[in-house]
Amino acid sequence: MGMTPGTLQSTTTSTSTITAYSALIQRAREAQLLGSTGHILSWDQETMMPPGGIDHRSQQMGLLARLHHQMLTDPAIAEAIAECESDRGFCEGDSIESANVRELRKDFDRATKLPPRLVSELAEVSGKGQHEWAGARSANDFARFRPWLERLVHLNREKAACLGVPQGGEPWDALAETFEPGCTAATVVKVFTPLRERLRVLIGELMSSSHKPSNRFNETKLPVDAQAQFVRMVVESIGFDFERGRLDTSTHPFCGGSHCDDVRMTTRYTESCLNDALGSSMHEAGHGMYEQGLLRSAIGTPVGEAVSLGIHESQSRLWENQVGRSNTFWKWCGPQLQRHFGACAAGFTHDEFYGAANVVEPGFIRVDADEATYNMHVMVRFELERLLMSGALDPKDLPGEWNRRYKEYLGVNVPDDRRGCLQDVHWSMGAFGYFPTYTLGTLYSAQFFDSATRAIGGLEAGFALGEFAPLRAWLNSQIHAHGRRYSPSALCLRVTGSELSSEPYLKYLEGKLRPLYSL
């Protein structure tokens, strides 16, 4: 994007608007420079920092959040935005400039609703809360985490009240807007309710089938060092650029970094199952390629930022599932694996590799879940965080309510809180209103992949030959390069010609799993 008059769509734009826009963009970029410094510190906290660093780090994060908030709410930003908005020719249409002004207005209005005290307190308590959660989780001790959860629930309810609950809505909606613009609990319920019924039927049928795919490969021990080399080769093959990104290890895989040329993703390895590391690395690489695919010339402006977590998750789920769990991918990956691991991986047929990537088994852990049961885990969390935010659920009752829903949704008895309500990091980081983006992303991924299949001849056949570049290029031009130029729903309509629907996903899932279970 440019800031010279020649790139603007309108010929009526005045010099003062151009000046105001340039000033606005400069301030947005400076705020991003500071904000992205915090992202590198968060990455460091998860990958490198010794445990002793936590108190000081939390203070650093609290201060950075306060300074970042100060920059975002500077009255000079409001003046520059207003100047741009007053030039109708400048703000109409969907030019990069008008999108930037529109999105910076939204960011400014949201940021000014939050008192600086709350912003820095949330950052500080989240940092410490996350640290305390990690300790409570490994000690399987909910009572240790409970006071932090109570504080974080309290602070987030305060945040929702400051942001303002939309008319006819609920506190959860105000928080979800940060992660998924336009998303409300009511719209989520509308998508989740029918999806849950179809999934319940499908899971029941798969579980009662007498034929199951072989799980043998998932029980094969492979040395972690060799796994790391292999996984790196795979994510590089699908298009992650190691000149502009890293892959490290952390307890919980994630993707962060400071901008499109410095993307930090992590994974984790278990000796007993390569598919854990492979699946989570392809997932994070999907996030990473979205970040690397953002417009370099728009760094620090909304058009150079990912549009929402749901769309972000569509990219990770697409590479993890539609690609990484596909029949043709394993025609390429299986032989690569046998060459790489030699005798350890010899003696597996294609059907065994492909089957092992698609075994369905209701369990306790979301991040280990297969494609059929995954969304049930998300639905449990959505219901619970909605109740926590409305005040209808007391944090002390969380374990009981969690376990009751797991029995109801997945038919499993949660053995302890470590494998129950303590398993996820999100609430300890103060992220409420986040979880549904996982399922929305899963639904988007199937819908996008359908469009890609129509647009690219021989797409899936190409995976068997290790040809992933056409898909990455398509995702880049259709999704990544737009940043926040279009809203998530407008982007979906633009890319797929339809609104978000669970049909493509259910069709994909049933079409793949039923044959694997001889149904």
The residues carrying an active-site annotation are 284
CB of 289 to Zn ion, least distance (A): 12
Q: Whose Cβ is closer to Zn ion: residue 246's or residue 340's? A: 246
CA torsion sign, 454 to 318 to 264 to 148? positive
CB of 283 to Zn ion, least distance (A): 6
Residue 59 phi, psi (nearest 5): -65, -40
Q: Residue 405 in contact with residue 380, Cβ under 8 Å?
A: yes
266 binds Zn ion, rule: CB under 5 A: no
141 by DSSP, 3-state: which?
coil
Number of residues lying near Zn ion (CB under 5 A): 2
Q: Whose Cβ is closer to Zn ion: residue 60's or residue 439's? A: 439
CB of 459 to Zn ion, least distance (A): 22
Q: Whose Cβ is closer to Zn ion: residue 77's or residue 282's? A: 282
CA atoms within 13 A on the CB side of 62: 17
CB of 437 to Zn ion, least distance (A): 9
Q: Whose Cβ is closer to Zn ion: residue 17's or residue 316's? A: 316
Q: Whose Cβ is closer to Zn ion: residue 87's or residue 424's? A: 424
For Zn ion, the nearest residue by Cβ is 316
CB of 284 to Zn ion, least distance (A): 7
Q: Whose Cβ is closer to Zn ion: residue 292's or residue 316's? A: 316
- The stretch among 53-61, 185-193, 311-319, 350-358 that binds Zn ion (CB under 5 A) is 311-319
Q: How many CB atoms lie within 10 A of CB 451?
A: 17
- The stretch among 120-128, 234-242, 309-317, 420-428 that binds Zn ion (CB under 5 A) is 309-317
Helix, strand, coil distribution of the chain in percent, nearest 5: 70, 5, 25
| Angle between the N-to-C axes of helices 274-292 and 469-478, in degrees from 0 to 180, rounded to the nearest 10 | 40
Q: Residue 476 in contact with residue 293, Cβ under 8 Å?
A: yes
214 by DSSP, 3-state: which?
coil
361 by DSSP, 3-state: which?
coil
Q: Residue 206 in contact with residue 263, Cβ under 8 Å?
A: no
d(CA 162, CA 171): 10
Residue partners of 201: CB distance under 8 A and separation at least 6: none
- The stretch among 1-9, 260-268, 295-303, 305-313 that binds Zn ion (CB under 5 A) is 305-313
- The stretch among 160-168, 242-250, 306-314, 320-328 that binds Zn ion (CB under 5 A) is 306-314
Length of the chain: 519
Residue closest to 312 by CA, chosen among 438, 432, 435? 438
Q: Whose Cβ is closer to Zn ion: residue 374's or residue 468's? A: 374
Residue partners of 438: CB distance under 8 A and separation at least 6: 313, 374, 375, 378
Residue 260 phi, psi (nearest 5): -60, -20
- The stretch among 96-104, 241-249, 308-316, 340-348 that binds Zn ion (CB under 5 A) is 308-316
Q: Whose Cβ is closer to Zn ion: residue 130's or residue 315's? A: 315
β-sheet with 262-267: strand ranges across? 245-249, 262-267, 255-259
d(CA 98, CA 67): 27
- How far out from the chain centre does Cα 84 lie? 32
316 binds Zn ion, rule: CB under 5 A: yes
d(CA 192, CA 183): 13
CA distances from 64 to 39, 214, 251 (A): 10, 50, 25
Q: Whose Cβ is closer to Zn ion: residue 313's or residue 383's? A: 313
- The stretch among 37-45, 177-185, 313-321, 403-411 that binds Zn ion (CB under 5 A) is 313-321
178 by DSSP, 3-state: which?
helix
CA distances from 451 to 103, 192, 229, 476 (A): 27, 23, 33, 14
Binding positions for Zn ion, rule: CB under 5 A: 313, 316
